[in-house]
């Protein structure tokens, strides 16, 4: 409790340090990814209509856990408040961060706005009895929030007062753009497969009927392979560009690894009759792949600050550390003095 009081006192006086704010942003990103998976669990367990109303669970109860389906839906709804708290803390952290930065404020505020927007879309999903278009929109909005959170995490580590400049040549940037766009199309096609297949959230839920599940799955597979070809094209392009390869090495390696795992799970679930457990893994990997794609795109540019800005940031960090140390020393002296008085 003493440390918590010291932290609150310091934050009120000096704000969050960049490192503390970065930790908050990472936590928000992780929770935004987790809630995508828990939302998929609601659908995969057939609990999409476990609560037939919103915000109440039903006509008579705000919270109802009388059945397994309603309990699963309620847990997911309550988890939304945990995610919302993390997002609000990120926005508050951006405001209290020293120095305060406009880009971080805009990104974190966008996340805060996205949570009630998700609530409205979730209500529409329930009120329309799991209309596949509404469910699709719910997932797409989640991907938008994940993308914003990834950018926020990346920007929170960059030096203050810096301007963004290109980190790779235009041809490389163009190939990365194509790769990210096709990845987004593949994920969107995956939502159509879900809206057509057996895991729509409830046995009576409406499905997409313009194509059979077989043809929708095939089209999704084709789009996925196009995204993979874009990745291979980028790798071939980078073989003679050592600098660009070094810049994109980490996110591209992660992207390839996740894509291979995603493809393996996809074919496995298709061959084994689409079991719910594999679909959940597929959703988690799809979300991770999208987050990695945004990371890859962000890596095509970098923060470039003047020497004066970097020196000023370093000096500000040193002053902040000295102030924190002095505050802790004062607190320690007060505690020690109180102990001596009590001993006397």
In the chain, where do the E strands start and end?
163-166, 301-304
For residue range 123-148, what is the model confidence (pLDDT) as tens digits?
898 888 888 898 889 999 999 999 99
- Whole-angstrom Cα distance, residue 344 to residue 103? 55
Give the dihedral sign, CA 10/14/15/19.
negative
Q: Could you please report the per-residue DSSP string of 89-109?
A: HHHHHHHHSSS--HHHHHHHH
Residues in the chain: 344
Looking at residue 319, its pLDDT comes to: 54
Domain boundary assignment for the chain: 16-160, 162-304, 308-335
For 190, list phi and psi in degrees, rounded to 5.
-60, -35
Looking at residue 274, its pLDDT comes to: 81
* CB neighbour class for 321 (10 Å; exposed up to 12, middle 13-18, buried from 19): exposed
Looking at residue 75, its pLDDT comes to: 87
pTM: 0.84
Q: Is the distance from CB of 186 to CB of 227 less than 8 angstroms?
A: yes
Looking at residue 170, its pLDDT comes to: 94
Q: Could you please report the per-residue DSSP string of 131-177?
A: -HHHHHHHHHHHHHHHHHHHHHHHHHTSPTT-EEEESS-HHHHHHHH
- Which of 73, 53, 54, 77 minimizes the C-alpha distance to 65? 73
Label residue 99 by pLDDT band (50, 70, 90): confident
Percent of the chain whose pLDDT exceeds 90: 47
CA angle at 287 for the pair 281 and 288, rounded to the nearest 5°:
90
Looking at residue 208, its pLDDT comes to: 79
Query: What mean pLDDT is predicted for residues 93-105?
Result: 88
Q: Is the distance from CB of 152 to CB of 105 less than 8 angstroms?
A: no
Confidence check: pLDDT of 59 > 80: no
């Amino acid at each position: 409790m003493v440390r918590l009081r010291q932290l609150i006192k310091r934050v009120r006086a000096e704000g969050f340090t960049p490192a503390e704010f970065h930790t908050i942003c990472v936590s928000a990103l992780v929770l935004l990814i987790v809630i995508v998976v828990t939302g998929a669990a609601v659908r995969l367990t057939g609990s999409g209509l476990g609560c037939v109303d919103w915000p109440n669970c039903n006509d008579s109860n705000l919270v109802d856990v009388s059945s397994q389906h309603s309990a699963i839906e309620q847990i997911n709804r309550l988890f939304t408040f945990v995610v919302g708290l993390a997002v609000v803390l990120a926005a508050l952290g951006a405001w209290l961060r020293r120095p305060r930065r406009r880009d971080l404020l805009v990104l974190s505020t966008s996340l805060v706005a996205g949570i009630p927007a998700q609530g409205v879309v979730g209500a529409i999903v329930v009120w329309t009895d799991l209309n596949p278009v509404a469910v699709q929109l719910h997932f797409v909005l989640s991907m938008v929030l994940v993308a914003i959170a990834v950018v926020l995490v990346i920007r929170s580590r960059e030096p203050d007062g810096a301007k963004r400049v290109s980190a790779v040549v235009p041809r490389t940037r163009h190939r990365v753009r194509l790769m990210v766009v096709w990845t987004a199309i593949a994920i969107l096609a995956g939502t159509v497969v879900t809206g057509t297949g057996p895991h729509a959230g409830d046995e009576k839920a409406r499905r997409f009927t313009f194509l059979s599940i077989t043809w929708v799955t095939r089209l999704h597979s084709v789009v996925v392979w196009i995204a993979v070809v874009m990745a291979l094209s980028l790798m071939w392009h980078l073989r003679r560009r050592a600098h660009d390869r070094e810049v994109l090495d980490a996110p591209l390696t992660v992207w390839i690894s996740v894509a291979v795992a995603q493809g393996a799970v996809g074919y496995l679930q298709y061959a084994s009759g689409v079991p719910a457990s594999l679909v959940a893994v597929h959703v988690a990997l799809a979300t991770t792949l999208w987050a990695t794609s945004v990371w890859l795109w962000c890596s095509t540019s970098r923060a470039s600050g003047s020497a004066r800005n970097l020196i000023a940031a370093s000096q500000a960090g040193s002053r902040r550390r000295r102030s924190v140390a002095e505050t802790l020393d004062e607190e320690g002296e007060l505690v020690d003095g109180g102990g001596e008085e009590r001993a006397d």
